Amino acid sequence: MLKLLGARPVGPWELTAVLRGLDTDPIATCMVAARVQRHGLSPTAIRGELWSRGAVGRSLCFSGGNLVPLWGKREDLHTFADRALRHPRRCSAIVGRTELAIPLWEQLASEWGPPREVRPEQPLLALSGPPRIEPDLRVRQVRAAELEPYLAAATAMFIEEVGVDPRAHDGGAAYRDRIRGIIASGAAWARFEDGEVVFKAEIGAQSDQVSQINGVWVSPQLRGGGLGTAGTATIAQAIQREGRVPSLYVNAYNHAARRSYEKIGFTQVATFSTILID
């Protein structure tokens, strides 16, 4: 591949410029802004580092558990790919705006091997007004004592969505700890019936302006009855009460979910792509 010099770690003195840039595209950059707004640019604190080819307002990429190109031209993507290839791979996915994520993957594919899955079209949605449907009053934040039923639902969702069992490597210890932490932070929401979770979702990345909803799941035998729509509306309403914009992204082929979000009032603001890497 073409190798260009220039991609470099962003320095702490550039924080103001980075924040200014993130503010120009707050919904698409929420995942990175959530870290930088709280922790600055310390690689340890944000669990990754930011790269730029020059001025951070013209090219920027986050490298951590995910590789997230934020903005830049094709030559910037060349340098991001070159820098990624000069070190052991640390990411399990490339995710971001389609016009950035797909070209970046094209620069990396020959070295990183075939992907586990490419999700080329994922509408990025946001809710600008109140939910158009009545929220589900039985959807609430999950309590610490409800770890086991929530963990069971989260595991089922993960297997269905990602295609791998999160318990495969260590019997589920790390995933259990992760879910326990999500519950403790107040980010896990669910509806329970007879002690079992029938709807769940989580508030993932949360910047000063935007909260991203993810992990939306409805018990298979209850799908099609509106639980997911009303439950997501409940979480969206809670986000708005905190002064943030609710957002999420969804696979284009998931027509049922897209109809559900449209009923709530979500509209598309961009298109994401995700490349899952083994």
Query: Residue 181 CA to chain centroid, in angstroms?
Result: 17
Query: Residue 235 CA to chain centroid, in angstroms?
Result: 16
- Residue of higher predicted confidence among 171 and 131: 131
Contact 265, 248 (CB under 8 A): no
| pLDDT score recorded for residue 5 | 54
User: Tokens 């995933």 identify what position?
Assistant: 175
Nearest to 273, CA basis, from 112, 91, 68: 68
| pLDDT score recorded for residue 163 | 82
Identify the CATH assignment for 140-270 out of 3.40.630.30, 4.10.780.10, 3.40.640.10, 3.30.830.10. Answer: 3.40.630.30
| Residue 194 CA: distances (Å) to CA of 19, 149, 191, 198 | 46, 11, 10, 10
DSSP state of 164: S
Mapped onto helix, strand or coil, the DSSP state of residue 211 is strand
Interval 111-133 mean pLDDT = 96
Residue % of the chain over a pLDDT of 90 = 94
Bridge pairing between strands 188-193 and 196-206 = antiparallel
Interval 5-22 mean pLDDT = 93
10 contact partners, CB below 8 Å, separation of at least 6: 18, 41, 49, 50, 51, 52, 56, 60
CB neighbourhood size of 38 (10 A) = 12
In this predicted model, what pLDDT tens digit does every residue of 160-208 receive, in sequence order?
988 889 998 898 999 999 999 999 999 999 999 999 999 999 999 999 9
Task: At 198, list the tokens.
Answer: 């029938």
20: exposed, middle or buried (C-beta count within 10 Å: 0-12, 13-18, 19+)?
Answer: exposed
| pLDDT score recorded for residue 3 | 46
Q: How far apart are CA 161 and CA 215, in angstroms?
A: 9
